[in-house]
Structures are given as C-alpha cells and as structure tokens.
Amino acid sequence: MDNSHYFYRTVVFSQKDNQVSLADIDQPDKITPLDEWLGMVVSLADGQHSIQELIDYISQRYQRTPDNLEQTLFSVIERLEEGKIIQLSKSRVSLPYYLAAPIETLDIEKARKLIQEDS
C-alpha cells in the first residue's frame, strides 16, 4: 500500500456517543455501527490526509506504538476500500457537503438535494 495516498469516505456516517456508524440519509435514525478500528478510519477519511499521516496520528495516541499498527491499518483500509466505504487517491480530495461531516451536523434536506444533484 502506498502511504502517500490520501483516503476519503464515500458514505454518509454518524458519530454519536463515541460510536462511528454508517448512516442512511433517507433514514437518519437507521445506522450500522462499525467496530472501533473501522470507525476511526472512516471518521478520519476526510480526503485531506495521507495514509502516512493516519499512521503517524494513531501512533501518537499510544505511549508505545503497537508492533503491528501499520499492518492493522492497511488491513482496515483494504476492508473499507473493498466495501466501497472509502477510496484512495494520489491527491487530496474535497468531500461534498453530505460526506464532509457526521449526519448529526448536516442539514438533511440540503444533503439529500445535493446527493440527487451529484447522482
């Protein structure tokens, strides 16, 4: 995996009570919780940071960086990419309004309208 690639989400997400979940813009209360590692990557997948920056950021959260941190993150990224939840890019990506923030902070009608326009 190329650590210089940027990663960005392609799904609407929820971030409530320290839980990151996938959300449905048409049914905002219907969420699918993600496990901690998947949720962390999805919440950070803003298109403005590289995989290396993700590794560095998460490394700083530990007093002693786990030996397999990079491999674990690669595995998480691959799973999310296979599920079409995130994508990788060689350059920074600006997310549309409806993907840029958790669903709890969005104007739902505006988000729906923009999604229709982008379809």
Structural domain contains residue 41: yes
Give residue 67's pLDDT: 81
Structural domain contains residue 40: yes
Give residue 4's pLDDT: 95
Give residue 20's pLDDT: 96
Give residue 66's pLDDT: 75
Q: Which residue has the tokens 């939840």?
A: 85
86-118 pLDDT, tens digit per residue, is 999 999 999 999 999 999 999 999 999 999 999
Q: Which helix (H) or strand (E) holds 20?
A: strand 19-24
pLDDT less than 70: residues of the chain? none
Structural domain contains residue 99: yes
Its pTM stands at 0.89
CATH code for the domain in which residue 16 is found: 1.10.10
Distance CA 119, CA 13 (A): 18
Per DSSP, what are the bridge partners of residue 89? 6
Structural domain contains residue 1: no
Domain membership of residue 106 as a residue range: 6-118
Please count the helices (runs of H) and the strands (runs of E) in the chain.
5, 6
Distance CA 99, CA 116 (A): 13
Structural domain contains residue 22: yes
Distance CA 24, CA 119 (A): 15
Q: Which residue has the tokens 């958790």?
A: 102
Give residue 1's pLDDT: 84
- Based on the structure, what is the number of domains in the chain? 1
